[in-house]
Amino acid sequence: MEQRRRIGWLLLFILFVYLASETLVSALIPAPVVAADATRLRVICLEPPAILELEAESIRMEPDMGLEPRDHIAIRWSPGRHFVQRAGQPDLEVEGPIHLTWSGVATWRDGKGPRGRERRDIGSITLTEIEGKRKLWVSVELEDYLSGVLAREMGAGFPLEALKAQAVAARSFALNAAARRRRNGSPWDLQGGQADMVYRGLDSSSKIMKALRETRGLVLAFDEKILRAYFSATCGGKTRDGRERFQDVPAEPFRPVTCQGCEGLGLYRWSRKVDRARIDKVLPGLGKSPLEWQVSTRDARGDWKRFQVRSRGGSWLKADMTRLRGKLGLPSTWITGVAMNGSDVVFKGNGHGHGVGLCQNGAKGYARAGRNYQQILDLYYNQPPLRKIGK
């Protein structure tokens, strides 16, 4: 009997130790959020130059073609092929993609003509053609990429805590977007313009470096995945419900919040005169009389979705403001008034950008008022868990 009781206690003890260790282990090991191999990103250049002129130390080209490493290379594109320009010698014709690597920082100009801007990159460049269109992408390490994104999306003039909040949001957005494109078999990961985040080469200002260092590897998670952390310039006082603007976004992190940080900053309140010629181009066939506007559907914040417009006596033309906002030159779809001014149309509204997620000018205002980056992220993404990736 005594023996049996002892065995009973022993089994109970073993069960207790097992349960305790399970709880302990699960508390110590964070749930997997991301494969950390995705930190080298291929960022497509929106305006590749007609001739790529690259300056860097020891530039190497693939295919090899017998070229020695050099400090300057000029490559001209013509449909179907590239030509490597050589002083005093005929151009070297290369078929298929070209891959350039170098050591340290390279300098080159993207864009065309006077729009071309000098930029600096660490990494490599791929030149290729996809479905007859010229493509150039830079392969860059995540943190180098983020330095350029922070410089373009906020700038070193923003307070440090706002830059740190932006760093975490941008890191999360980049990894989510890159993973999605890879799953879809895209040869590149991110687009270097506003469709993803603006990137035109790296930045090394000390405040941006500090913001990245102090948030290194931190991402926002939701449902044990990295969050596609949308952000926009100025929400205008209230952020927008993410599901009103984007498909496939979780509700909880993007529920609307009141923002007092952006009050009076950026395009908090705006008025835009759109001339009649522009209206006629965007909405053709309206006739010449003064216009009447009607909103058909608005979301809870007040953003215009569907609307209709006609010139007096004419028939109504139905249109979608989400699609036309950029073409009309309006800062946001949160339109609070529309009036005719002679033949022109004057729109009034709130905020700048889509209004979902972090408000950049709001982050600026809150950081100035003493909030830290975690408090800022908590506000805009509804207390999302922070996770650390990589080393």
Applying CB under 5 A, the residues found at the interface with Zn ion are: 235, 259, 262, 359, 362
Minimum Å distance from CB 141 to Zn ion? 31
Minimum Å distance from CB 28 to Zn ion? 38
Whichever of 334 and 347 has its CB closer to Zn ion, that residue is: 334
Whichever of 192 and 355 has its CB closer to Zn ion, that residue is: 355
Minimum Å distance from CB 360 to Zn ion? 8
Minimum Å distance from CB 367 to Zn ion? 13
Query: What residues does 41 pair with on adjacent strands?
Result: 140
Minimum Å distance from CB 32 to Zn ion? 33
Minimum Å distance from CB 257 to Zn ion? 9
Whichever of 39 and 234 has its CB closer to Zn ion, that residue is: 234
Whichever of 73 and 267 has its CB closer to Zn ion, that residue is: 267
